[in-house]
Chains A and B, each alone.
Chain A
Amino acid sequence: MSEARETRLFMISPRSMLTPDQLVRMVHAFGEGALVKETCYGCLVEGPRDLVLRIRDKVREDYRNEVFTKIRAYPCSDPRRCRAQHGTRPGFAQLEEEWALLAKVQHGLDQVDKGAKYVAPAEKKRISVNDFKKICEVE
């Protein structure tokens, strides 16, 4: 498994000051020899799994809550999923939506790092018919 190809998508939170260009230069500077491809939201990194995970951990050291990652099924520039071939793939719109959400998740992670705890929201219940009737009568 560790030798298997891993292609990983690195996405920068919109709240971060980091640019895709800076991220790519940083990954190159690690000197790990992985394939790095700049994208509009961050970059793609491809190589043996061990190496890609090392890069992920190093990125996290500097930009702990600003860069998010997931694996990608297809290798970089795979014609089966290349935008230039067919137009956007079905998951493109989802990535756009998730990118917008990263700003909030970054904030959430920062606060949790500072000790914020989960507080269950008050359950919303429908008012009883009798209570509703009373409100109507008052009005």
Chain B
Amino acid sequence: MKVFIDPPNSLVLFDLVERFGHEPLSTMAAIQERVDNIEVDMPPMNVTLDDVVRGLKYAGVEVPSGVRGRLAMWGPLIEEADAAIVMDDCPYSFGCVGCERSNLMVKYLLKRRGIPVLHVSYPEDDAQAVSFVAQTKEFLEGLR
């Protein structure tokens, strides 16, 4: 099954989804699709004006362009997803996931899709990490 991960560029979530037998839907794949397109020359990410305009599907024109551009990248992944894992309260959320408004919207779009969504907490110690891994594994195995 296709599992959307949030943060959408997380190494840990990407690895666990694959490890437990599913296909992670990540920012990396969405960006790869763009950077490998040799017909577009808009470095570094080849995000184009058309992408940002497509973002209007998720947020109105009064919403900053950065939010619409991000949603244009993640929106289609959310639509494609069969399930999702969301890590709440990440201390790491730089770069791609740098905009809090976009992140709130991603969580909302997942909720609206009505697919199974697992919310996990960022593990602060070893005991919590065991719980986090076990919970993720149970969720992913239950998707089969």
Asked if B94 is at the interface of the complex by the 8 Å CB criterion, the answer is: yes
- Which B residues are CB-close (under 8 A) to A72? 28, 32
Chain A residues 1 to 32 lying within 8 A of chain B, measured CB to CB, are: 4-5, 7, 9, 11
Shortest Cβ distance from B116 into chain A, in angstroms?
A: 16
Task: Find out whether the CB atom of B125 lies under 8 angstroms from the CB atom of A104.
Answer: yes
Cβ-defined contact, B91 with A97, below 8 A: yes
Chain B residues 25 to 49 lying within 8 A of chain A, measured CB to CB, are: 26-32, 34-36, 43-45
Q: How distant is A14 from chain B, measured CB to nearest CB, in Å?
A: 13
Among B8-16, B58-66, B77-85, B105-113, the stretch that binds chain A is B8-16
Q: Are A108 and B123 in contact (CB under 8 A)?
A: yes
> Which B residues are CB-close (under 8 A) to A80?
35, 43-45
Q: Which of A91, A107, A117 has the most CB of B within 10 A?
A: A91
Is the beta-carbon distance between B131 and A78 smaller than 8 angstroms? no
Q: CB distance A116 to B134 under 8 Å?
A: yes
CA distance A72 to B27 in the complex (A): 9
Q: Is the Cβ of B12 less than 8 Å from the Cβ of A73?
A: no
Nearest-CB residue, chain A, relative to B18:
A69
CB atoms of B129 and A11 under 8 A apart:
no
B95 touches A (CB below 8 Å):
yes
Complex: A118 Cα to B141 Cα, angstroms: 13
Cα-based distance from A104 to B136 in the complex (angstroms): 14
Report A-chain residues with C-beta under 8 Å of the C-beta of B126.
104, 107-108
With A71-B26, A108-B130 already in contact, the answer to whether A9 and B11 are too (CB < 8 A) is: yes
Complexed CA–CA distance, A102 and B125 (Å): 11
> Quick check: A105 and B32 within 8 Å, CB to CB?
no
- Using a CB–CB distance below 8 Å, which chain B residues touch chain A? 7, 9-12, 14-16, 18, 24, 26-32, 34-36, 43-45, 91-98, 122-123, 125-126, 128-135, 137-138
- Residues of B contacting A97 in the complex (Cβ-Cβ under 8 angstroms): 91-92
- Alpha-carbon distance between A72 and B28 when the two chains are bound, in angstroms: 6
Please give me the residue from chain B that is nearest to A81 by CB atom.
B44
* 5 A-B pairs with least C-beta separation: A90-B95, A108-B133, A97-B92, A91-B95, A73-B31
| A39 / chain B contacts, CB cutoff of 8 Å | none
Q: Which of A91, A102, A109 contacts B9 (CB 8 A)?
A: A91
| A80-B44, A91-B94, A91-B95 given; A71·B14 CB < 8 A | yes
